[in-house]
A and B are shown apart, each in its own frame.
Chain A
Amino acid sequence: MFNLDYSWLADPVYQGWLIRGTLTTIELAFASSAIAFVIGLFGALALTLRIAWLDAVIELFVEVFRNTPPLLQMLFFYFTLSTVGLRMTDPATGVSVPLLSAFACALISLSLFGGALCIEAFRSGLDSLPRAVTEAARSLGYSRWQRFRRIEAPIASRICLPALTNIMTNQFKTTSQASVITVPELMYYAGQIYNDTFRTAEVMILVLFIYVSLVSLLSWGMVRIERMLAFPGYGKGA
């Protein structure tokens, strides 16, 4: 049924592109996940302060980013940050060039998108903390900060871990959309390769397998970490 021709894969140029693209994908996914975690942590902590206006603003941020396409967000950020705003004049040539590269715009956009998901995940993690635990810590005389550091954070982070795995794999998958704004990641190089070789089906099948293996590897690793960190007798470790 299919006549798959993978002879182009022997070309070192294409191999180099695939490797470079994969590395950029991994870099983008991990960097944006890291920033998203920070955003999520601060967002969720801000929610625990129970300041009504802050809560409303954070909820708006979360809902806007969750309910609009990441592709459109990326295009929007790419356009507003790179094309219109923030330009500088290159001292050597005198040409006005965008200050932020496509990669930086994709990173900002993905971080905000992931951050919105992270706030939601951390918040539900903190919410699902058993009330008895907090009360026990209180009655033992822990201060607010100690209670967070010693009791709430360790338990909540373990509750959140499966959700974080989801978010990270999601980030990985969403990076493929950065090819639309010409970030040279795996999907972008895939386009370059099939424009050269016209082997569209073969290239896409290979790239699909690369993505699936990367994401599977990541989620396998995260499950290992989950098991390693689990408290004996609590949650999944029981």
Chain B
Amino acid sequence: MALIATYAGKKRTVQLGIALALAAWVCLDAMGSGGEGWARVWARLPILLTGNASGWPLSGGFALNVFLSLCAMAVAALLGTVLGFGMLAKNRLLRVPCFFVMNFLRNSPWLVLLFAMLYIIPFNVRLFGVSIAIPAFVKAVIGLALPTAANFAEIIRGAVQSVHSGQWEAARALGYMPMSIYGRIILPQALRRMIPGWMNLYALLMIATSLATVTGIQDVITTLNTLLAMENERVIVYFYITALFLFFAFCYPLALLARRMEQSVKGDSL
């Protein structure tokens, strides 16, 4: 086997080199001038990751971001499915409002929507005479789920419409009922195309959970800001780099996987 043969091989070698160089730089820095900084980060890492100095139980930090993204994705999947099939409906009265809602949610900034939900949703709801307090976490879930749901719906619509119209006609000619055309013909094909889109969307949502700090929950950014208040200026950069790396380490593999699946789906465009 040739050591460096193709362009892709060469590129991979360089990438490996860059990764090694960065790791080496961090190590050198840690041994030299930045040692103190990295030591501070290391000491605070459990709090950043779990919101708890001892690392257990999980009460906040990056773990809360992950949990928040999972909850928001679940809510968004529900809402988005309803909205997506609403947009595919034959009935205009159903389709047009769904398009309007989808466009509104997609055109509004995540942060503003989050803020709006924070203030529009009341602090307490009275349900059957019982007053239930709505925690900030629930508001963050709803605020993040709304724009995600709109994107989710758009992915469903795009994938269903990308199925060739011949499939519809063939199914109809074979006497399938409308519901079973969806269930047996269209969705199995469309689902394959939706999954990479959903994965990208989830990565986007994970990145957006950093905004949830405005609701005051103890997520990684809130924790970071609390920690930084106690650190001296030189050390703060290391904390920011660590926080950036946490998100990168979570989202980059997802993005890679999504891209690989996209490539494998690309072929079957009938």
Task: Please tell me if the beta carbons of B221 and A71 are within 8 angstroms of each other in the complex.
Answer: yes
Residue among A67, A172, A219 making CB contact with B251, cutoff 8 Å = A67
B16-40 contacts to A (CB < 8 Å): 18
Known A-B contacts A60-B18, A204-B120; the reply to A173 vs B247 at CB < 8 A is no
Closest Cβ of chain A: how far from B103's Cβ, in Å?
A: 7
Q: Which residues of A contact B199 (CB under 8 A)?
A: none
Closest Cβ of chain A: how far from B221's Cβ, in Å?
A: 7
Binds B, one of A35-43, A51-59, A138-146, A230-238: A51-59
Known A-B contacts A63-B255, A173-B109; the reply to A69 vs B116 at CB < 8 A is no
Task: Please tell me if the beta carbons of A79 and B240 are within 8 angstroms of each other in the complex.
Answer: yes
Residue among B14, B115, B210 making CB contact with A72, cutoff 8 Å = B210
- Interface size on B (CB < 8 Å)? 41
A166-193 contacts to B (CB < 8 Å): 169, 172-177, 179, 187, 190
Closest Cβ of chain B: how far from A30's Cβ, in Å?
A: 16
Closest Cβ of chain A: how far from B222's Cβ, in Å?
A: 12
Q: Which residues of A contact B13 (CB under 8 A)?
A: 52
Q: Mark A154-172 against chain B: 1 for CB-CB distance below 8 A, else 0.
A: 0000000000000001001
Q: Which residues of A contact B236 (CB under 8 A)?
A: 79, 84
Q: Which residues of B contact A100 (CB under 8 A)?
A: none
Q: Which residues of A contact B237 (CB under 8 A)?
A: 76, 79-80, 84
Q: Which residues of A contact B171 (CB under 8 A)?
A: none
Binds B, one of A5-13, A88-96, A129-137, A210-218: A210-218
B residues near A (Cβ < 8 Å) are: 7, 10-11, 13-15, 18, 103-104, 107-113, 115-116, 118-120, 203, 207-208, 210-211, 213, 221, 233-234, 236-237, 240-241, 243-244, 247-248, 251-252, 255
Task: Please tell me if the beta carbons of B247 and A67 are within 8 angstroms of each other in the complex.
Answer: yes
**Closest B residue to A53 using CB positions:** B14
Q: How far, in whole Å, are A216 and B108 apart by their CA atoms in the complex?
A: 9
Residue among A56, A70, A212 making CB contact with B108, cutoff 8 Å = A212
Closest Cβ of chain A: how far from B252's Cβ, in Å?
A: 5
Q: How far, in whole Å, are A202 and B10 apart by their CA atoms in the complex?
A: 57
Known A-B contacts A52-B10, A71-B210; the reply to A187 vs B255 at CB < 8 A is no
Interface of B is mostly: helix
Q: How far, in whole Å, are A50 and B247 apart by their CA atoms in the complex?
A: 30
Q: Which residues of A contact B112 (CB under 8 A)?
A: 176, 187, 204, 207-208, 211
Q: How far, in whole Å, are A68 and B15 apart by their CA atoms in the complex?
A: 19
Q: How far, in whole Å, are A175 and B110 apart by their CA atoms in the complex?
A: 11
Q: How far, in whole Å, are A224 and B237 apart by their CA atoms in the complex?
A: 44
Closest Cβ of chain A: how far from B23's Cβ, in Å?
A: 13
Given contacts A56-B11, A177-B109, A212-B107, 18 further A-B contacts (CB under 8 A): A55-B11, A55-B14, A56-B14, A68-B244, A68-B248, A69-B207, A72-B243, A80-B240, A84-B233, A84-B234, A173-B107, A176-B109, A179-B111, A201-B120, A204-B118, A204-B120, A205-B116, A207-B116
Closest Cβ of chain A: how far from B229's Cβ, in Å?
A: 13
> Is A200 interfacial (CB 8 A cutoff)?
yes
A-B pair number, CB within 8 angstroms = 124
Known A-B contacts A56-B15, A57-B18, A68-B248; the reply to A169 vs B255 at CB < 8 A is no
Q: How far, in whole Å, are A63 and B7 apart by their CA atoms in the complex?
A: 19
Known A-B contacts A72-B240, A177-B211; the reply to A67 vs B18 at CB < 8 A is no
Q: Which residues of A contact B107 (CB under 8 A)?
A: 169, 173, 211-212, 215-216, 219
> Is A101 interfacial (CB 8 A cutoff)?
no
Q: How far, in whole Å, are A162 and B203 apart by their CA atoms in the complex?
A: 22
Q: Which residues of A contact B103 (CB under 8 A)?
A: 216
Q: How far, in whole Å, are A92 and B22 apart by their CA atoms in the complex?
A: 42
Q: How far, in whole Å, are A186 and B45 apart by their CA atoms in the complex?
A: 35
Residue among A69, A76, A200, A216 making CB contact with B119, cutoff 8 Å = A200
List 5 A-B pairs, Cβ < 8 Å: A52-B10, A56-B15, A68-B244, A177-B211, A201-B116
